[in-house]
Each structure stands twice: as structure tokens, then as C-alpha cells.
Structure 1
Amino acid sequence: MTERADTDFVAARHPGLSSDEVARRVERGEVNDVPVRSSRSTAEIVRANVFTRFNAIIGVLFAIILVVGPVQDSLFGFVIVANTAIGIVQEMRAKRTLDNLAVIGEAKPTVRRDGAAAEIPTSGIVLGDLIELGPGDKVVVDGEVAEAGNLEIDESLLTGEPDPVVKRPGDEVKSGSFVVAGGGAFTATRVGRQAYAAQLADEASRFTLVNSELRNGISQILKYVTWMMVPTAIGLIISQFTVESHDAREAVRRTVGGITPMVPEGLVLLTSVAFAIGVVRLGRKQCLVQELPAIEGLARVDVVCLDKTGTLTEGGMDVTGLRLLEGAGHAHVGAVLSALGAADPHPNASLQAIIEAYPQAGSEGWQRTGALPFSSARKYSGAALTEPRGTAGTWLLGAPDVLLAPGHPALAEVDRLNDEGLRVLLLARSGLALDDPEVTTGVLPQALVVLEQRLRPDAGDTLRYFADQDVHTKVISGDNAVSVGAVAGKLGLPGADRPVDARRLPEERDAMAGVLEEGSVFGRVTPQQKRDMVGALQSRGHNVAMTGDGVNDVLALKDADIGVSMGSGSEATRAVAQIVLMNNSFATLPSVVAEGRRVIGNITRVATLFLTKTVFSVLLALLVVFWQIPYPFLPRHLTLLSTLTIGVPAFFLALAPNKERAKPHFVRRVMRYSTPAGIICGLASFITYLVARHEYTGPGSLDAETSAATLTLFLMEVWVLAIVARPYTWWRVVLVVAMVLGFGVVLVTPSLQSFFALRLVGDAVPWAAVGIAGVGGVVLEVVWAWVRRREPRVLGTA
């Protein structure tokens, strides 16, 4: 920057709006009043849980049974009401958790009013406010640049163009962009719903269920179920009214008994509850899930790309040494470093450490005539300084291997320090003007500034967790590759002893992907390269998570399958990330991974239970229509069986720990087991029903026939439950046994026998029912073993 431009920047400083002007704008409604929501509204939650397709079907059947049947045949309706209430309560808990965390993590721009700068909530901005900007700040409303000091704005989230745009007074800035270098201020020209930020913030922070393979898979299953239900239900209605022409009420009860179990009504509910509980659990660990599928997505991740600074290391740094070069004096170098610190109003972590080591008092009498802020793409910053004795010069501070020509003698010392895991910056003097494109050519090195980064105490354990879970870790940093490798090596990362300099990475995507799959540590990576590396890994079929906290990470965070930002990171990174670690602890990530695996793995388990019921219900309805006989079950029977073999067990299984990495093709994996299992269960219970119809005759025989078929169906469903619950733990064994005992209590208690219309008559048929269930169970085991061989660890694994 020239001296004139720098002077204009200082002179252009405006006091901003006065308090009276702010009050008048608030009265006129010229405020940034867009609500920042992290979740659905209460009305949306109630509507989404109550007004569903299957709730409507169950509601109609419930109303019919209330008219024609005893109350015990309407129990399924009360179960649906209770389940829906549970879903609403759990999602409301998740909403409160997300809203509270969103308030904590909300961006607070610095606004200048009455000549003083102060941080205020985004919703407090009014039209005409003067908003200050620094590196990493997000432009929260649309406006016009009023002050600029080497201000560079990244508009890639709006335009797709990766190159930063230099902004000068009078230029337009749009919300959704962010500052990558320099500083300044802009006047708000569009606020509230007129600004692009309204749409961006609403979409970035909404509690959403989009782009979820799990939810999409369940929707696909429900669509198939609907197609099967309609013709089957019509055939069943005609059949039952034909068979029970003498008793319309019995025909209605048998028809409803056949239609009700076709509806996997609890599957959607249980999925919502599992996700909601996951949000609450993560919220307690100060983890803000900005998009709900992120829990699922991180569970599918097999590669985690970590930015070293702020992730493996803490934000702060310390100056541990100064190596003088080319005969430079210690006092003079210290004064230059002090002046460079004073020249940058928005220092990064490295420069902040230098400022602390060399206070600005050491640069008294020095004048700044130009400044070049640090940029991740350049890897250096600089300033045009005039010393007290009048000598003017251009000074640069940055990466030694960028500022020095290859083979320079000073680089040997740099490599040695990097091998120790230290970060090294070069202070150099240039004979060219600061704005000269060749300013780094022929620089005169003056000193090496040695910095030590503070390792996060939990980083090593977190890296070991990912290794144990078969998740590959890639450390991607803009720092020197050897230095990054040394830091990663201290944390025990495999492959850290073979760091790769990203400047030598092939540009072709497939070739780059090959190098990335082999290596673990990559240094001197530019922001655009981070984005390219994420894309290259994705091209090989990897699910990639990217963590970061700086503006140089935004492009990669945006393109990764899952973006994870630190709460202390820049506003831009928090805006594009799906997950924000509010406590800035990298150690929280395993909790997120574990929560996602728990949700997906367990929903896969319980989906098998629900869909097995749907399949055998459709099959039974078809068999009944073909044989032209009464449907074997009343609604009360299937309510009892569903509660004991699906509802209660599914709730516990859905919330159990599960560490298996999520696998793709949810629908295919679930249907491969539930379809044959449902067919086997349906055939076994129908065979028992036919045997009972042959054995029992006379008044009351239908109740005896139904009871025998119910016994077989219960034993078959318990067998399916026992398979899905594997591998066994003490509580899973207790769960299965408790369900068996519950059914036994119903069979031996006279009042419950009467309530559920269950009466086992004689010895031959009940034992035949048990025998048929035993044969069916053996067939189930054979089928399960076959499915397991074809797709290892689909079911029965933790």
C-alpha cells in the first residue's frame, strides 16, 4: 500500500451512527430482524410428528374399532398416541439444546457507534451501521465498503470463484462472503430479509433432515409399504366381509387386525427419537450440530482431514528463539519485529506470539508507510517501515522456504528446527516496493524466528481412537511439511515420518488421490489445494470429514462430506461447518462419531424388526384372501406381540452403544433379512392356524385357533429379536427373557387371558404350535447365516 492510501484509510475513519440515529432506525423497523434458528419451530415439530401418512391410516382404523369393537382391540391407537407424544417431547428437548448452543455460537460483529466499537448480536444491526472487518470475519449483511486497508474478501461461497477479491472504498460487499486478509469497515445497505445473509444463515443453521441416507432409505421403504398395503387391504376387506357375512363387527375387527400390522409406524418415530437423543447427548458436550444428518454423516466417514493449527495444537504459540543471520543485530531485529507487530491491526497466532515477545514499546519512532497482511496463499506478510534515523525499507515475515531460493544455506538450519517440531518464520528485507509482484526476489535474510506450538493434551488419544476405528487421519497444513510431521509424530500418528510437501503434489486428481491415500502428513498446502485434496479423496469413494478453524479452511470445509469447525474459529468456518465444537476440543469428535454409529447401527437393527412384521402381515393377508378364511388375529393380539417383540425391545436397542462404522445401502441391507424373516414368520403362523382349524370344531373354535397361531407367531418374532440382539450382553439377554416372561404372564393369568382373548385348548395343538415355531426358528438361523456370509456383519454385531 502507498503512503497516500494508508493515510486515506486512517483519515476515513468514521464514528458510525449515533445512538439517536440507531433508535430512529429501530422505530422504522430497519433492523436485521431475521430469526436465526437452529431447529424447527414448535408448531413444525408437532405437525411433523402428528400429521403423518401412517398416523392418518392408524387414526381411521382406531376410530372404526372404537365404534365396533371392545376397547382391548383399540389398544394400538393409544400406543400410537403415546409414541407420537414421546417423539414430540424428545425433539423439543433437542430444539432447546440446539437453540441454546446456537446463541452461544452466534456471530457477534463489531459495530462502530458514537465513535466507539463494540460487539453486538447480528440481530442488533440496523440499516446504515458501520461494521468493522478483520481476517476471518464474515460479512453478515450486504453493504458498501467505507474503509479498506488491504482488504481482501473471499466470495467463493457466493460466486464459486476461489480467488480473493480486493475491496476498496465504494465497492459492494455481500453477506455470505468473508475476509481473508486486511481489514476495514463497511456500511450496511441491506439488512433483515432483504440481505443474502438471511437466506444463508437460515439454511446453514436449520435443524434439517435432508440428504440423509438413513431417512431417505426409510422414506423409500415406506413408499414400498404403501404400494403393498393398498391392494392387499382392499382384498382383505372384501375377503373378511365375505367370510364373516353373518357378523359384520367381527369382519371389521379381523380386517383391522390384518391392516394395522402392515404399518411400520414406530420406525419413523424411533429414528426421530434416536436422532433427537443424539443431539441432546452431543449438546451436553458442547457440540452444536447445525445439520442433523451430520451425526449420520460423520459415522460413515473413513478419512478425517485435520488442520494442524487449532486442531492438533492449541491456538497460542510462544517465541522460543531468535537465530540472527547475515550479521544482523539483535536490538535492530527486535525493533523490526516490534514494528511489524504494530503494523498489523489483525495479527494471526504467529504474529501475536511475536508481539508478546517484542512489545510495541520497542518500535518507538518507527513509522509504517505501507502494510501487507498475511495471506494463506502467499505464506508471508510485510510492511514498509521508516526507521527513526530516516532509513526506509521493505520488510517481510513468513515461510523461509517460500521467501528463500532453494538451496539457501539458512534452509539447513530451518530443516533442523522443523525436525524438532518447531515452527520457523524468516524475517527478511527486500529491495523492492511492497506492492511489487517480485518483492520476494533476492531478499536479504535477517533472522529466523523460532516458534513452538502448544499441543492439545487430548490430541494423541483422539488420533489413536480414529486408528482403532479404522478411520484414516490426514494432517493437512499450510506449515512446513517436516515441521508438521514432527508435531504429528509426537502425537503418534502413523506415517508422520514421511511428510509430503504439497507443492510437489500432482495436479491430476487421480494421481493426487494415490499420493493422499499413501501419505498421512502434508505441508505447505494452499487453501485451494485443501479443497482439491478433499475432492481427490472423494473421487476414490472415501467419505471425508474436514476439521479447521481458519479462513483458509473454508473451501475444504464446504466441499467435505462433513465439515467440523472449532467454536473459537472464524465466523466463516462456523457458517459453513455442519458441526461446531463449542468447547474447541478436538477430543469431542470421537463422541460425535460414536453417536452417529450408535444411531445408524441401531436403527438398522430395529428396522429389521419393524419390516419383518410388515412382510408377514402382507403375506398373511394374501394367504387369507386366497384360502377365503377368517384372518387369524384380532388387533389386540398383534398389539400385544408388537409391544413385546418390537416396541419395547426396539426402544432399548435403538439407544444402546454401537461402534460399528456405518455402511451404505441401508434399504438393501435391511430388506435382505427382513423379507425372508417375514415370510418364514408368516408361513409358520399360518401353518399353525390351518392345523388348529383342522383340529378344533364347534363354538368358540375361532378363539382357540387364533390363540395357537398367536403362540407360534410370538415365538417366531422372539426368535427374530434374539437374532437381531446379538452379540449378547447381559442386558440384551435380560431383555429377551423379560419379553418371553411377559407373554407367559398373559397366558397364565385368567384376567389377561380374557382381556387378550388368548386360550390354549388341549395339549396337541399348542405343542404343535411350539414345534412349528421350532422348525421355523431353525430355518431363520439358516437364512441369517446365509445373509451373514454374503454380507459380513450386517446384523448381530456391535
Structure 2
Amino acid sequence: MTDIDAPATQRPAATGLTATEVADRVARGQVNDVPVHSSRSIGEIVRANVFTRFNAIIGILWLIMLAVAPIQDSLFGFVILANTGIGILQEWRAKKTLDSLAVIGEVRPTVRRDGAAVVVATSELVLDDVMEFGPGDKVVVDGVCVEADGLEIDESLLTGEADPVVKRPGDQVLSGSFVVAGGGAFRATKVGREAYAAQLAEEASRFTLVHSELRSGISTILKYVTWMMVPAAIGLVITQLFVKNNDLGDSVARTIGGIVPMVPEGLVLLTSVAFAIGVIRLGRKQCLVQELPAIEGLARVDTVCLDKTGTLTEGGMDVTELRALDGADETYIRRVLGALGTSDPRPNASLQAIIDAYPDGEDWRRTGSLPFSSARKYSGASFSEENGESGTWLLGAPDVLLTDGDPALTETERLNEQGLRVLLLVRTARGLDDPDVAKGARPFALVVLEQRLRPDAADTLRYFAEQDVHAKVISGDNAVSVGAVAAKLGLKGSTVDARRLPAEREGMAAALDDGTVFGRVTPQQKRDMVGALQSRGHTVAMTGDGVNDVLALKDADIGVAMGSGSEATRAVAQIVLLNNSFATLPSVVAEGRRVIGNITRVATLFLVKTVYSVLLALLVVCWGVEYPFLPRHLTLLSTLTIGIPAFFLALAPNKERARPHFVRRVMRYSIPGGVVAGVATFVTYLIARHEYVGEGSLDAETSAATLTLFLISMWVLAIIARPYTWWRVLLVASMGVAFVVVLMVPWLQEFFALKLVGVTMPWIAVGISVVAAVALEIMWKWVDRRFPV
């Protein structure tokens, strides 16, 4: 589709509002006041961290304990307060990072005020503002077109229609659409919440949300935990308060001591903290994470699709050679190229290189234009020279403008093999509004361009190869040229011309699995290629900076845009590299892997505790005995074997690629681990009751059971901490030393009600723990073989 308009200088210009008119509209509230939330507000952060189901349960139990038991048995409440405070603080820090980065990456439209073009913030737009836009610009409010110069707008994010829509003066433009070719201006008719996209979503830049398996998995786990807790807790309450004739305070303490450890209260906290710290770390590297689960999503990626221009190569280019064809006059060709350059008010990188090389063309008068489009692969213009000679010229891909067998194509291919980009200048006798405008065109010259490789691209591609992430280069440029650039960067694999790809999804997916570099890809094909890869079970990330990447970025599992890219790409991407450095991607991948891998580790720790707590409660109910622990005992155990270690393990480096089935992977370890710990502890408790029957010392029985549970929990921690590094060994050892200190220091013994009596029972507890540890090792290895994920 084309739109041939008279030059802007021949149309009455829309000058826009005056400062007085702007102030009047602001006073009337006719401002684009749609809130842009890069993160949750402070109030939302506090509510999300404080008012949770489990905080309510723990809070009520804590208040009861403060009333009926010593302060030692209420320590779990102070731990919850500290954890909640840490969660709020970390998310607030992440919010500050996100908000500051969002300002940097914010869309800033150009408006006409007082007859001049000025750049303003999106929130400063008012009704009737006249905005200018060009290729890649996003329409941020609804309006009506007042100027159009070959203007084509993509409304696919709103309507689902992939074909660009030609816009002429008087046509409506909708917020959420973006310019794919040409330029123009429009007057705002609806701003703020009245705009079309704002009615579809509170934020016009987002239309899809990243799925977080981690968060949904944890929600599923918490649902299971609730189902297990309720019957166990009810049975425990009845047993301890009514079946046993114990002191009320002691019965309440032991009842609550059995309920509190069932709640994996720190799991949600550590997940939030891990995400928040990830945002802070990436923010320091100028990486804006527009949707937090995107960190997790990129860690699961096994295929990354790279656009060559702006990703593997820098945006700029240089003209290295001009080759006249068929005896054409080189001086005249330079003037033509100069005229083509000056005729386009919004040149792309290729045309900008031509403008820099051939600035002489201002004496030519343009009578028509055909803006560059990624779908067409060429641009054009019609001129009327001062001497009366007229001409229509096209500049674009040689293999699109020429027929097969043309001698110029042979020369073009030879240059492409060197990694050079080649454009062809042709003259046509047809009008620019003719769909076959290139048919029968006469070749005049080849323009050879050299692309600047990003110095960090080779290292980044090497990183992906080492991490078993397949890189696919998808470009609209000539396939041979793109393949040569990829080869220079050390990327191995076959090169494919996308025009020869099967149209049906299965065939395309097979070709994509076999190939590595794909050239002459249209924007719609990019989108189809992402879908084809996903149909094969791949988790796909798409990087890009141009308007031709928008559809693919939107459909990919994770879209990554360059900060200097078009407004449209930044709007639909989940991650924006504000420093325009492709080398930042490994940091994002590493951060995601750290979060997922480590949360999987610590989730196992928390849920082992939940399983053995529920099992102990059920065993106590069945045997009709006192619950073996007071809250202080389990607070000590949880702090040393879960709380402190989990914090360090959750924030440690982790390069393992994230694997699916989070719930299954966690539960297959937690259930056998919790069962072994619960049974071994209860056996020790029953033996201790028999051993100390004459002494009547519940403290001695509790101490023996505590020793067993601590040793087994330490072994679970030791397994989870693998593979060992010096700091992990130190972490596990220091937790063991801390427990020994509690057993040896008299006032700590008294504070935590721990005192090992005699010689036989402590060694029995150690022996049962050793047997349980061996059982854990055997059981977890069997689970790995029997239930692989």
C-alpha cells in the first residue's frame, strides 16, 4: 500500500496550541492523566506484604502466645515482623529503581506549541495538541490525522489485523497503534482514560502479561498446604486442650507450636525479595524490567531470536563504495542519491549513511514519495528538476527490485558474502502508486554499505552457546550478507532465505530448527517464526529495535527492546536495554536463573518443614500424647536450618537453566524428606518417653526429639546446598556450630528449654538421625530416577 501526498511545504501547516490554550486545557482537566505504573505504589507494597492469609494466622497465634506463655515462645512473631519489614524494604528499593528507569525509557512525543516543535512527557499532553510522528513512533492518545506523508499505521495490537492501514488527513488514529512507514501529524481528540487503548487496559503499552510459573506454582503449593493444615490443626487443638490433662498455658503453647511450623511463611517473602533484588541488580546495568516475571521468563528461554541491525550490529552504517551500472554517470547518480536522502524527513540508518556521503540534492523538487517499508524492502520518490527533467527513483534490495539472472545480482551476492549491505538504485517509468512500480525498472547503481559490528556481540553469542540457548538471527536484509555477519561473530549454522520457507507452521518449525540465520524476513514472517518455534515447545525470546520487530516482540515469550529503538518496540517489550547493549542480556538471563534455581532450592527447605509438621501433628493426635515441641524449639530449628540458610541460598549465583514443572520438582523432594524427618523425630520422641518414664521430664523428651529433628534438617540443608562451594560449606557448618553453642551455654539452654539428659538417649537420637540421613539419600536418588523432570 502506498500514499502519495504533496510535500508538507505545500500544505497548510497545523501549528498546534498556544501556551495560553494549553494552560486553559490543563485548568479544565483535559490532560492525558492515565497513570503509568512501572511498579506497585507504597501502599500496595505494604498491603501485599502485611495483609496475607498466613500473616493473619501467625498474627492471631502470636497474640495468644503473648498472653499465655513466656516471651521465648513468642519469638516466631518477631521473626515474621522482621521478615515482613525486609520484604517491604526490598520491594520499595526495587520500586525506586524501576521508577527512575521508567522515566529514562518513557515515550516523549513531539508536539507543536506556539508554532514550534517541542518534546513533552506523555502526561503533559492536552486535548487538541498537534503531535508529529514517524516510523516506529507509538500513538499515545486518540486523534485525527491532519498531515500525512506516505503514512502507514499498524493497528494490529488493537484490532489483530496485521496489514498496515494507510492514513490520510481526516482519518482517525487510535492510541496503541504505531507508525510503520511515512510520517505526519495528528490532533488529539481523546486523552487520558477516554483514549481507546486506555479503555482496553489501564496502561496502553501492555496487552499481554508474562506468565510466572514460579508465582503460580507457589500459589498452588500454598493451596495444598492449607488443605493439609486444617484437619491436622483441628485434631491437634482437640488433643492438646481436651484429651490431655495439662496446664492450659502449656497446652496452648504446644498446640501453637504444632501449628506455626506448618505455615511456610518465609517462602513467599523470599520469592518477593529475590525478584526485587533482581530488579535492583539489573537496574544498575540500565536494564528496565517492565514486568517482574520477565526475569523468570528469560531464564527459561532456550531460543533467542536476534534482529541483526541494532542488535548484532550498531545502528549506524558507512557508504564504502558506489558502483555505477551500464555506463551510468556517477556524478549524476550522486545527485540522485542526495535528492533521495533530503526528500525523506525521517531517514532510516541506510538512508542516513547515504545522506552523510552525498549531501548534494537540495535543488531537486519532490513531487511524490514512497516511504521505506520492511514489507516492501524499498523506498522511492519522484522529482521534478529545475531543468524540467522528471524522474521516479527506487532504492532498496537488489534481489527484490531485479529479476533473476540479472548480472547485477551476481555482483551483489559477491559483496554480500563479505558481510556488506548492498542497495540498488533504479529508475522506473511507472508511478509510485502503481503496485508494480518496480517492474521494468532500469538499474543505475549499487550502493555498498558497511555495518559496524557491536564489539560485545561475539562474547554474548558465545555465552548463549555455552548456556545451551540456541541463537537464531532473523533479519530483513539479504540472507548471504546476514550469514556473513553472523560468521564474523562466530555463530555457526546454515543460512536460509526466508522467501523459501514453508508457509505452513509445521514445515516452518522444522526449517527453523535446522537453520540458524534467516534473511529477507518480512515483519509478518517474524511473527510466524516465533509461533512456529513455540509450537515445538521452545521458550522464545525476541530482541529488536525497529518497528518491523513489534509483532514478533509481542508474540514472543519474552520481548527485549533496545532503549534507542522505536517507541513501539519499547511499549510491547517486557525488558528494555536502556544502554542499548546486547551484552546486558547475559546478566538478565543469569539473574533469572538465580531467582528460579534458588527459589526451587529454598522452597524444598520450607516445604520439608511443612510436611514433617503436619505429619507430627497427625501422629500426636493418633497416639494421644503431648506435642513434643514448644514454639521456641521450632523457632530455633527453623532459623538455623531454614531461615538464615534460605536467605543466603536464595541470593547466591546460579547458572543452571530453569526447568519447567516447579511444583512437581519441589514436592517430589519435600514429601519424602518431610516424611522421613517426621517419622524419625516421632520415633525418637516415643523412645525418649519410655526412657525417661520414671523421671517424668517432658523437657528431656523434647530435647531428644529436637536433637533428632535438627540433625535431619541439617542433612536436608546439606543436600539442598549441593554442589558445595567454600561459602556453602561454611554456611552449613556455622548453623551446626550455632546449635552446639545453644546446647552448651547454660542461659541459652534455659532460654530455649533444651537439656540433654543422660548418655544413652542423646546417642540414640544421633543414631536415628544417621539412619534417617541414609534413608533420605536413598529415597531422593530413587525419586530422581523414578520421577525425572
Q: Structure 1-normalised TM-score?
A: 0.97
What is the CA distance between 1:788 and its match in structure 2?
2.9
- AA paired with 2:350? S
- AA paired with 1:624? V
Q: Which residue of 2 aligns with 1:14?
A: 14
Q: Which residue of 2 aligns with 1:731?
A: 727
Instruction: Report the 3-state secondary structure (helix = DSSP H, G, I; strand = E; otherwise coil) of the residue aligned with 1:541.
Output: coil
CA–CA separation in structure 2 for the residues paired with 1:288 and 1:202:
20
CA–CA separation in structure 1 for the residues paired with 2:539 and 2:592:
14
Q: Which segment is superposed worse, 380-389 or 652-661?
A: 380-389
CA–CA separation in structure 1 for the residues paired with 2:716 and 2:672:
11
CA contact (8 A) 1:3 1:369 kept: no
| Residues 129 and 305 of structure 1: CA distance in aligned 2, closer, same or farther (over 3 Å) | same
Instruction: Report the 3-state secondary structure (helix = DSSP H, G, I; strand = E; otherwise coil) of the residue aligned with 1:728.
Output: coil
- Alignment equivalent of 1:462, drawn from 456, 460, 463: 460
CA contact (8 A) 1:308 1:477 kept: yes
CA contact (8 A) 2:210 2:558 kept: no
Q: Which segment is superposed worse, 691-700 or 53-62?
A: 691-700
Q: Which residue of 1 aligns with 2:495?
A: 499
What is the CA distance between 1:697 and its match in structure 2?
2.4
Instruction: Report the 3-state secondary structure (helix = DSSP H, G, I; strand = E; otherwise coil) of the residue aligned with 2:437.
Output: coil
CA–CA separation in structure 1 for the residues paired with 2:670 and 2:7:
75
Aligned pairs for 1:296-695 (under 5 A) are 296-359=296-359, 362-495=360-493, 498-695=494-691
| Residues 105 and 442 of structure 1: CA distance in aligned 2, closer, same or farther (over 3 Å) | same
| Residues 4 and 141 of structure 1: CA distance in aligned 2, closer, same or farther (over 3 Å) | closer
What is the CA distance between 1:395 and its match in structure 2?
0.2
Instruction: Report the 3-state secondary structure (helix = DSSP H, G, I; strand = E; otherwise coil) of the residue aligned with 1:370.
Output: strand
| Residue 258 of structure 2 is aligned to residue 273 of structure 1 | no
Q: Which segment is superposed worse, 679-688 or 199-208?
A: 199-208
| Residue 189 of structure 2 is aligned to residue 180 of structure 1 | no
State, as a whole percentage, how many aligned pairs show the same letter. Answer: 76
Q: Which residue of 1 aligns with 2:768?
A: 772
| Residues 486 and 434 of structure 1: CA distance in aligned 2, closer, same or farther (over 3 Å) | same
What is the CA distance between 1:201 and its match in structure 2?
7.6
| Residues 12 and 668 of structure 1: CA distance in aligned 2, closer, same or farther (over 3 Å) | same
Cα displacement string for residues 296-321 of structure 1 (whole angstroms, at most 9, x for unaligned residues): 00000000000000000000000000
CA contact (8 A) 1:147 1:185 kept: yes
| Residues 751 and 74 of structure 1: CA distance in aligned 2, closer, same or farther (over 3 Å) | same
| Residue 743 of structure 2 is aligned to residue 747 of structure 1 | yes
- Alignment equivalent of 1:719, drawn from 710, 715, 718: 715
- AA paired with 2:102? A
CA–CA separation in structure 2 for the residues paired with 1:510 and 1:206:
30
CA–CA separation in structure 2 for the residues paired with 1:626 and 1:333:
95
CA–CA separation in structure 2 for the residues paired with 1:223 and 1:329:
78
Instruction: Report the 3-state secondary structure (helix = DSSP H, G, I; strand = E; otherwise coil) of the residue aligned with 1:335.
Output: helix
Instruction: Report the 3-state secondary structure (helix = DSSP H, G, I; strand = E; otherwise coil) of the residue aligned with 1:259.
Output: helix
- Alignment equivalent of 1:705, drawn from 701, 704, 710: 701
What residue ranges of structure 2 are gaps of 5+ in the alignment?
A: none
Q: Which segment is superposed worse, 739-748 or 199-208?
A: 199-208
| Residues 2 and 508 of structure 1: CA distance in aligned 2, closer, same or farther (over 3 Å) | closer
Aligned pairs for 1:160-309 (under 5 A) are 160-198=160-198, 202-203=202-203, 211-309=211-309
What is the CA distance between 1:5 and its match in structure 2?
3.8
Cα displacement string for residues 333-361 of structure 1 (whole angstroms, at most 9, x for unaligned residues): 000000001111111000000000011xx
Instruction: Report the 3-state secondary structure (helix = DSSP H, G, I; strand = E; otherwise coil) of the residue aligned with 2:103.
Output: helix
What is the CA distance between 1:389 and its match in structure 2?
1.8
CA–CA separation in structure 2 for the residues paired with 1:224 and 1:632:
25
Cα displacement string for residues 536-586 of structure 1 (whole angstroms, at most 9, x for unaligned residues): 000000000000000000000000000000000000000000000000000
| Residues 68 and 532 of structure 1: CA distance in aligned 2, closer, same or farther (over 3 Å) | same
What is the CA distance between 1:326 and its match in structure 2?
1.5
What is the CA distance between 1:195 and its match in structure 2?
1.2
- AA paired with 1:432? R
What is the CA distance between 1:246 and its match in structure 2?
3.8
Cα displacement string for residues 497-548 of structure 1 (whole angstroms, at most 9, x for unaligned residues): x310000000010110000001000000000000000000000000000000
CA contact (8 A) 1:545 1:560 kept: yes
| Residues 4 and 671 of structure 1: CA distance in aligned 2, closer, same or farther (over 3 Å) | closer
What is the CA distance between 1:204 and its match in structure 2?
6.5
Report the number of matched residues: 789
| Residues 244 and 3 of structure 1: CA distance in aligned 2, closer, same or farther (over 3 Å) | closer
Q: Which residue of 2 aligns with 1:30?
A: 30
CA–CA separation in structure 1 for the residues paired with 2:518 and 2:787:
36
CA–CA separation in structure 2 for the residues paired with 1:206 and 1:720:
43
CA–CA separation in structure 1 for the residues paired with 2:775 and 2:328:
85
CA–CA separation in structure 1 for the residues paired with 2:304 and 2:7:
46
What is the CA distance between 1:34 and its match in structure 2?
1.7
**CA RMSD across the alignment:** 1.6
- AA paired with 2:422? V
Cα displacement string for residues 160-182 of structure 1 (whole angstroms, at most 9, x for unaligned residues): 00000000111110000000001
CA contact (8 A) 1:689 1:709 kept: yes
Q: Structure 2-normalised TM-score?
A: 0.98
| Residue 126 of structure 2 is aligned to residue 126 of structure 1 | yes
CA–CA separation in structure 2 for the residues paired with 1:113 and 1:199:
27
CA contact (8 A) 2:3 2:370 kept: no
CA–CA separation in structure 2 for the residues paired with 1:588 and 1:363:
41
CA–CA separation in structure 2 for the residues paired with 1:111 and 1:170:
18
CA–CA separation in structure 2 for the residues paired with 1:716 and 1:208:
45
CA contact (8 A) 2:417 2:481 kept: yes
Instruction: Report the 3-state secondary structure (helix = DSSP H, G, I; strand = E; otherwise coil) of the residue aligned with 1:169.
Output: coil
CA–CA separation in structure 2 for the residues paired with 1:137 and 1:459:
27
What is the CA distance between 1:240 and its match in structure 2?
0.6
CA–CA separation in structure 2 for the residues paired with 1:15 and 1:193:
26
CA–CA separation in structure 2 for the residues paired with 1:275 and 1:63:
31
What is the CA distance between 1:437 and its match in structure 2?
1.0
- AA paired with 1:304? V
Q: Which segment is superposed worse, 13-22 or 729-738?
A: 13-22
CA–CA separation in structure 2 for the residues paired with 1:4 and 1:720:
72
Q: Which segment is superposed worse, 434-443 or 40-49?
A: 434-443
CA contact (8 A) 2:157 2:207 kept: no
CA–CA separation in structure 1 for the residues paired with 2:447 and 2:152:
27
